[in-house]
């Protein structure tokens, strides 16, 4: 049975380009890099060099299931992006809109508690100790004011 090529394939609620290898096409999903994509392909039993448009619906479903349950699938905990969650204390890997939602909530919590990091985020300054004398200028690149010519 010959499968028809799909130009757009949907994995983990994200549209992927069909003419890329699935290993690199999965980078389009928020929270998935090449290492996570490699692990997911290995666990789902999908050929990494196969074009995304040539995947069958069963393979796409297996990839989605593995990505949504990476902890249960056996991925090592050092690869996960949400280790020791402050609320629950367990390891998880968030993808898609869940990742953005968790990040926003973490930043809101830092701002609410008025921690050092929260205040720096609130003021739009660098959080991790970078120098600010020459970088992080607000008006950098906004065009310069010139002298108006007399008419």
For residue 86, count CB atoms less than 10 angstroms from its CB and return exposed for 0-12, middle for 13-18, buried for 19 or more.
exposed
- Is residue 68 within 8 Å of residue 11, measured between CB atoms? no
What sign does the dihedral 34-80-59-5 (CA atoms) show? negative
- pLDDT at residue 1 greater than cutoff 60: no
Over residues 47-70, the pLDDT tens digits come to 999 999 999 999 999 999 999 999
Confidence bin at 27 (pLDDT 50/70/90): very high
CA distance 86 to 94: 14
Q: What CATH number labels 8-79?
A: 1.10.8.50
151/61: higher pLDDT: 61
């Amino acid at each position: 049975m010959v499968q028809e090529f799909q130009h757009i394939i949907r994995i983990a609620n994200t549209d992927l380009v069909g003419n890329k290898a699935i290993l690199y096409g999965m980078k389009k999903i928020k929270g998935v890099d090449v290492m996570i994509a490699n692990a997911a392909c290995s666990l789902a039993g999908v050929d990494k060099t196969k074009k995304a448009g040539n995947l069958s619906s069963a393979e796409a479903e297996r990839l989605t299931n593995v990505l949504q349950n990476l902890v249960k699938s056996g991925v090592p905990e050092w690869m996960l992006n949400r280790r020791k969650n402050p609320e629950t204390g367990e390891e998880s890997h968030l993808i898609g809109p869940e990742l953005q939602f968790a990040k926003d909530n973490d930043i809101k919590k830092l701002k609410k508690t008025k921690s050092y990091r929260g205040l720096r985020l609130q003021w739009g300054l660098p959080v991790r100790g970078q120098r600010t004398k020459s970088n992080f200028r607000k008006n950098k690149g906004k065009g310069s004011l010139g002298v108006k010519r007399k008419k």
